[in-house]
Amino acid sequence: MVPSKVAVAGGKGGVGKTLLSVALAHALDVPLVDCDVTEPDVPAYLPLEVKRELFDVEQPVPVRTEDCKGCGECERRCPWDALDDPMACDGCGICGAACPVDAIKFESERLGAVVEAVCERLGLTVRYPDAEPWAPELASVVVNSLADLDAFVADCPAGLGCPVIATLTSVEAAVLVGTPDEAALRDLERAERLATELDVPYVKVLNMAEGHVGKGDFDVVIPKLPALHEAAQNRDPEGIVRELKPYVETVLEAIRA
Ligand code: SF4
Ligand code: SF4
């Protein structure tokens, strides 16, 4: 039986996780969740029609009250020059602590939402964050949004930070992806250690393999696919699915095994 909740991760960015996630979600006929809060890639590769906003992303931002004496200390202390720019504020609270007359209060400001969209051409439902990426709340809103889904493929962001760890704890299996370069393979090894630590079964994919590469200890090896690259650039969903189809079938066989 194929697990119904699958994360695609790997550590390094640019190794092809997103396209593989699209093809996997399509093959499994489950929603795709783009968990990359800094730069959701799925909308860049698929023509999507947003259907609704699912979860608000809100963040407390500082507001100067009438007690403000105009000393400017809060502005001087803010690391991001964000007193009048909620989009730049990371909610650290330094300004409030710095104010000598306690004239800063925090009010909730909406910075965006996790939205549900559809790629009609694939019949694929996609969730992704449409919000200011600096919002500290965003990662938890996206990961929490997995809780109401019975089945999904989660496209994890690069790195192995808290959002990836939280996502891996929400799934039944992981597809760990790397490319044949030192940095990606090192990150892939760390991703394997993390999955093992979290007791998440995984399959290992070597993507964009050049020339004749043996399987080694990889479950699936995907060569460089120029037509896939072209399909992604052209936002051609059928092309993405078609090019990856044989490899996705192998990934699913490996997950079943
Ligand atoms: S909460 Fe932090 S980032 Fe936001 S305005 Fe205050 S000092 Fe700047
Ligand atoms: S530190 Fe306090 S008193 Fe000074 S400008 Fe900021 S809010 Fe006003």
Q: Domain with 180 in it: what CATH number?
A: 3.40.50.300
Same domain, 150 and 175: yes
Which of 46, 78, 110 is the C-terminal boundary of a domain? Answer: 110
Ligand 1 midpoint to CA 161 (Å) = 23
Total number of domains in the chain: 2
Answer yes or no: is pLDDT of 178 > 80.
yes
Same domain, 74 and 185: no
Ligand 2 midpoint to CA 132 (Å) = 26
Same domain, 128 and 249: yes
- Pairing relation of β-strands 124-131 and 104-119? antiparallel
CA-based angle 197:203:209, to the nearest 5? 125
Same domain, 12 and 74: no
Same domain, 24 and 99: no
Task: Kindly identify the ligand whose nearest atom is closest to the C-alpha of 98.
Answer: 2
Answer yes or no: is pLDDT of 135 > 80.
no
Q: Rg of the Cα trace of the chain? A: 21
pTM value? 0.83
Ligand 1 midpoint to CA 198 (Å) = 35
Same domain, 136 and 226: yes
Same domain, 46 and 154: yes
Same domain, 97 and 214: no
Tell the residue nearest (CA) to atom 4 of ligand 1.
Answer: 89
Same domain, 106 and 211: no
Print the domain residue range for 100: 58-110
DSSP string over the chain: ---SEEEEE-SSTTSSHHHHHHHHHHHHT--EEE--SS---HHHHS--EEEEEEEEEEEEEEEE-TT-----HHHHH-TT--TT-TTT-----HHHHH-TT--EEEEEEEEEEEEEEEETTTTEEEEEEEE-TT-THHHHHHHHGGGG-SSEEEEPPSSSSHHHHHHHTT-SEEEEEE-SSHHHHHHHHHHHHHHHHTT--EEEEEEEE-SS---TT-SEEEE--HHHHHHHHTT-HHHHHHHHHHHHHHHHHHHH-
Q: Each residue of 187-237: pLDDT tens digit?
A: 999 999 999 999 999 999 999 997 655 567 899 999 999 999 999 999 999
Same domain, 78 and 145: no
Same domain, 149 and 220: yes
Q: Each residue of 52-108: pLDDT tens digit?
A: 999 888 888 899 999 999 999 999 999 999 998 877 888 889 999 999 999 999 998
Tell the residue nearest (CA) to atom 2 of ligand 1.
Answer: 92
Which of 79, 110, 141 is the C-terminal boundary of a domain? Answer: 110
- For tokens 């020059």, name the residue: 81
Q: Each residue of 10-51: pLDDT tens digit?
A: 878 889 999 999 999 999 999 999 988 777 889 999 999 999
Q: Please give the structure tokens belonging to residue 86.
A: 């909620």
Same domain, 150 and 30: yes
Ligand 2 midpoint to CA 67 (Å) = 8
Q: Is 143 exposed, middle or buried (0-12, 13-18, 19+ CB in 10 A)?
A: buried
Task: Kindly identify the ligand whose nearest atom is closest to the C-alpha of 79.
Answer: 1
